[in-house]
Amino acid sequence: MNEVERHILVIGGGIAGIQASLDLAEMGFYVHLVERLPSIGGKMAQLDKTFPTNDCAI
Amino acid sequence: MDVGRHPKIELLAYSEVEEVEGDLGAFEVTIRKKARYVDESKCTGCGACAEKCPTRVPDSYNEGLGERRAIYRYFAQGIPSVYTIDPNACRHIAWLRAREEGSNVKVKKCGICEKICQAKAIDYLQQDRIIQRKVDAIVLATGYEVMNPRDITEYGYGKVPNVITAIEFERLLSASGPTSGHLYRPSDFVGKRSIPDHLPHAKRLAFVQCVGSRDKRYSIHCSGFCCMHSIKEAIIAKEHDSEVEAWIFGMDIRAVGKGFEEYRLKAESMGIRFIRGRVAEITKGKKGLPVVWYEDTKTRRVQSEEFDIVILASACLPSKDASLLVEKLGVELDSFGFIKTRPFAPFDTTREGIFVCGCARGPADIPESVAQASSAAARVAQMVMRESRKAVAQ
């Protein structure tokens, strides 16, 4: 495999965008994660606790 | 969250994609990095600025149930850990702009945060920056929009006090929320400068399912996750305070999957009541509290009950803002307005090199969104590597 650095753009910093970014980065891609709000986290960051373990969302 | 620290992730928060050109393997993306009026590289996130900022505005993170200052952090643990000035709320920016335009300056200048900031991070003249990035592929994880139940006039949202959405209720339950996790009726504190002492706790809660979902007038699809979040919210409220009485009104409870039905049974054993029936109307009762009118289909009677708070499980809808971007990208939407995919390529959009995961492609709960995101990442790797092998072979 050639060693050229591959770049991926992820649009949206909610739980899906964060997970996709981490996975891609772990695979060796360089990820650019764009989020329109001042911080990432999306809707999930607004949740108190999550099913099924009732653990904190953040 | 490791995203902020990962050496292979460039985090562009408070930014929007303006334009995308090119194809798989060679997209050129134009991104607008919106001005925070705070230098991200200098701000230490200490918060001294927000403590002294004189301007208060409704806090969007807390769904307007609380207040934040004009200089703010979206939420306390937010990443990146820097402050942002809301240019539509900040007095000083309004004053500077008015002065520049030469119009009548009606606002007083301020500049307090600049004086307070020891890191010298405040920059009222910061401009949006346009940056370019070359990428091989794109993942859309643009999420969804919670339906504003105001349109469903019979449910009285926005008119009858203490009728709120599920996401507002999440903020009420949260220790980091406007009430520090105390379950007060919104009518007792919203709009007040501080939360009054000795407020009564809300004891009677009604959860109304399928608000805008499975309703031909609004959206026909099932939003999927609302049955479970209402059960969860009822359980948490009861764990906070065992005197809480929670009623869940719905056509049926869709607890599909491993552990879900058990969770519903746990709720039942805790005394949470499930009423089979669609709520017809929510009115304001004599004490100013919401009254839920419904037909209990088991007893075939039309009944009404008064509650302290009514929580509407409003529908998961395609995001309007994201749809504008998606259409600009030349990606098609399905008949529901979510991003279109194919049954055997569930994370490929209609444009090669652009992928999708999470609620942007339809309602999904958190574990499903996570699984989809990992799948989409794997699919990206597959396509990009195939392209690069092709290039090497040529």
- B138-143+318-393: CATH architecture: 3-Layer(bba) Sandwich (3.50)
Residue B191 Ramachandran class (φ > 0 left, ψ -120 to 50 alpha, else beta)? left
Give B98→chain A minimum CA distance, Å. Answer: 25
SS3 of B284, please?
Answer: strand
CA distance A46 to B13: 17
**Does A33 contact B at CB distance below 8 Å?**
yes
**CA A36/CA A40 separation, integer angstroms:** 9
Whether the predicted pLDDT of B53 surpasses 70: yes
Establish if A38 touches chain B: CB-CB under 8 angstroms.
yes
Question: Is B99 in a helix, a strand, or coil?
Answer: helix
Is the per-residue pLDDT at B291 higher than 80? yes
Q: By CB neighbour count within 10 A (0-12 exposed, 13-18 middle, 19+ buried), where does B227 fall?
A: buried
Residue B152 Cα, gap to closest chain A Cα (Å):
23
Cis ω for the linkage preceding B149 (within 30 of 0): no
Q: Is B262 exposed, middle or buried (0-12, 13-18, 19+ CB in 10 A)?
A: exposed
B19 pLDDT exceeds 70? yes
* Distant-in-sequence contacts of B343-350, Cβ < 8 A, 24+ apart: B345/B379, B346/B372, B346/B375, B347/B372, B347/B375, B347/B376, B347/B379, B348/B379, B349/B140
Phi, psi for B108 (deg, rounded to 5): -85, 145
Write out chain B residues lying below 8 Å of A32, CB-based. Answer: 9-10, 12, 29, 31, 133, 135
Maximal CA-CA distance, chain B: 79
| Packing angle of the helix pair B226-240, B166-173 (nearest 10 deg) | 30
Compute the mean pLDDT over every residue in chain B, rounded to the nearest whole number: 94
Per-residue pLDDT at B101: 86
Q: What is the DSSP letter of B333?
A: B
| Residue of A1, A12, A33 lying closest to B3 (CB–CB) | A33
Contact A16 B359 (CB under 8 A): yes
pLDDT tens digits for range B196-240: 888 999 999 999 999 999 999 999 999 999 999 999 999 999 999
CB-based contact A52 B14, cutoff 8 Å: no
Instruction: For residues A17-42, give the mean pLDDT.
Output: 96
Q: How many Å separate Cα B344 from the centre of its chain? A: 30
pLDDT in tens, A22-32: 999 999 999 99
Q: Which of A31, A36, A39 sits opposite B10 (nearest CB)?
A: A31
Report the pLDDT value the prediction gives residue A52, as an integer from 0 to 100.
61
Q: How many CB atoms lie within 10 A of CB B261?
A: 12
- Spatial separation of the C-alpha atoms in residues A50 and B69, rounded to whole Å: 28
CA distance B324 to chain A (A): 13
As given in the structure block, the two tokens for residue B117 are 């900031």
CB contact under 8 A, B377 and A11: no
Number of Cβ pairs < 8 A linking chain A and chain B: 226
Q: How far away is chain B from the Cα of A50, in angstroms, using its nearest Cα?
A: 8
Alpha carbon distance B139, B157 (integer Å): 35
Q: Which residue of A has its CA nearest to B78?
A: A39
CA B110 to centroid of chain Cα atoms: 32
Minimum-distance CB partner of A51 among B73, B263, B325: B263
Of the candidates B365, B369, B366, B368, the one whose C-alpha atom is nearest the C-alpha of residue B225 is B365
Question: What's B149-214+221-315's CATH class?
Answer: alpha beta
Confidence bin at A55 (pLDDT 50/70/90): low
* Domain B149-214+221-315 in the same topology as domain B138-143+318-393: yes
pLDDT (mean) for B112-116:
96
* Average pLDDT of the residues in B134-158: 96
- How much is the pLDDT for A1? 45
pLDDT of residue B231: 97
Prediction ipTM score: 0.94
Q: Which long-range contacts (CB under 8 A, 24 or more apart) does B324-331 make?
A: B325/A11, B325/B16, B325/B17, B325/B142, B326/B140, B326/B142, B326/B360, B328/B19, B328/B20, B329/B20, B329/B138, B329/B140, B329/B354, B331/B140, B331/B356
SS3 B245: strand
Kindly state the tokens that stand for B290. 């919401």
**Closest residue of chain A to B181, computed from CA coordinates:** A48
CA distance B152 to B149: 5
User: Does B55 score more than 50 pLDDT?
Assistant: yes
Distance (Å, whole) CA B86 – CA B108:
17
**Which residues in chain A touch residue B63, judged by CB atoms under 8 angstroms apart?**
46
Contact status, residue B42 vs residue B120, Cβ threshold 8 Å: yes
* Residue A20 forms contact with B (CB below 8 Å): yes
Name the closest residue on chain A to residue B387, using Cα atoms.
Answer: A6
Mean pLDDT in residue range B312-336: 94
The domain spans of chain B are 2-135, 138-143+318-393, 149-214+221-315
Residue B293 β-bridge partners? B281, B304
Asked whether B323 and B144 are in contact (CB, 8 A), the reply is: no
- What percent of chain B clears pLDDT 90, i.e. is strictly above it? 87
Report percent pLDDT > 70 for chain B.
99
Residue B197 has what pLDDT? 87
Note the pLDDT of residue B166.
97
**Beta carbons of B23 and B133 less than 8 angstroms apart:** no
Query: CB distance A12–B372 less than 8 Å?
Result: no
Digit-coded pLDDT (tens) for B149-195: 999 999 999 999 999 999 999 999 998 899 999 999 999 999 888 88
